[in-house]
Structure 1
Amino acid sequence: MQQAQRLTKRVVDAAEPVADKTYCIWDSDVKGFRLRVRPSGRKTFELKYRAGRRQRLFVIGDYGPFTPEKARKAAEDAKHSASRGGDPQHEKIVHRHAATVAELIQLYLTEGRIDKPNKRESSWQADARDLLLHVHPILGATPINALTTPDVARWQRDVVAFKTARVKKLGFRKISCTRGGPKVVGRATRTLCAMLNWAIRRELIKDNPAARVSKPADVMRERFLSDEEAVHLFATLDDMEAAAEIRPDHADLFRIIALTGSRLAEMRDLAWSEVDFSRPAVVLQPERHKTGQGGRRKVINLNAAAVEILKRRTNQSDWVFTKPLPFKGPMETPRKPWAAVIKRAEFEDLRIHD
């Protein structure tokens, strides 16, 4: 193996091909940057790097179109991208083969997280539902460089017409329902637009055809409990807990949400470190609530009833609402218990604030 040296025009020009043998000259300045010399005389600049746990080879280009200085700059840029979680060779392949919308979706849902580190995991999950359930079935096979504004407008009409609605069987007595329709087209369009804007920043496409279509507002759902309904809800929780029809921790979670008006995830994942009995209040860091993009904490004031519930839940865990032993961590979303409460209370169209 030759000793590493700075790849300059003089060094590259002096590199002679060897019959029946390919060899590499490594650069001494940029780790992983090298020149591959083939028996045919072809000289190619390359970069070896790591993407996660995998070792990858980024083919920069041949000597001629690329000077050593231009190739070194490309290698440095690729190493910087890889250090932030990117995969330069994969992106090059996607761009070269005019990737389809389906391939772009997969790339966005994996590497987009690296470029948007402050975006909440629940938001990424919502994006995945929009893209995989509503965009992929209709636009998935379309090359991203061939996608047009009329294509996006037709896709919107198809979603509104419930053409993405389907029922999928997941197993014994388990199904997944995708509804589609006017209620989802607005958010799905904004998610598609955000993905295409990301693709522009990655230089995978030059234009965003979704930027020029209308983006219907989400159909807002407003449902508030009256005083009588609130009393009835708490009485139902007491009765079901006494009859062992619902776990006490599930009942307490529903009570806390009702008393504070907080979101499900804010209380379901509540840690004791976020509870301040001296105020008394729950203090959530920006990454723990939906309105934290500006770096602001969220303070949820606690009344006497909420404080009483929390104090009786004192445990040895880091979490207020935990998984049942022997499992560790915050409680999972209690969908079935909530459905049972709604059925017993005979409430219509009532859901936990999410």
Structure 2
Amino acid sequence: MAKQRINRELIRGLEGERLATLAQGDVPKLRDIYDDTLTGFGLRMRPNGSVSFVYRWSAPEGQQKKALGRWPAITVEEARAAAKSFIGRTDHKSDAMSTRVAKHERRVADARHCAMPTVGSYLDGDYRTYWLGTTRSETPEQNLKNIRRDFVDLLLKRLDEVTRPMMKKWIEARIAAGHKPTGINRTLGAIGGLFTHAVEHEIITSNP
């Protein structure tokens, strides 16, 4: 298999060759070209001119191939980055044990990241069920409404995306708006209960 630097110039050159072949009345051939710097990263140009990016590697169980996407819906740069990300998480036959362990940890972190709920979904789901079943408040829904009202900017963020600087900025904005410390602390306590519940149930590993 030919190895060349995969970039937009190469694709344009391949397309020019394909059109020249058609102009001569011949049928273009299927072209498979692999990158000369990133091992396993390649492209396939079909006779009809469509181009797709692939990654080939030797896995412990044998040769494998993964489709990365079609050009131009995915750029060369995006395809190359996707291949590098995939390499960093996929076991290769040549990997040392320490490398495989590191890749496994990345895969576990990715799965956890994808499963992480947003503040809003957790508020309406597990935390709401817990709160309504344990609170002695005579207006249990009000606590949940207050969180939605006062932290509207956080509702679409994942639980692990909320940081201490975000909360500090929120406190500073409330103080600047003239809110009393007692009210600020009460509201912080409300959302703090949500994050404490998430930590206790190992949804996240630390408080915001």
Structure with the greater alpha carbon radius of gyration: 1
Q: TM-score if structure 1 supplies the norm length?
A: 0.26
Which structure has more relative contact order (CA 8 Å, sep 6+)? It is 2
Which structure dedicates a bigger proportion of its chain to helix?
Answer: 2
With normalisation by structure 2, the TM-score equals 0.42
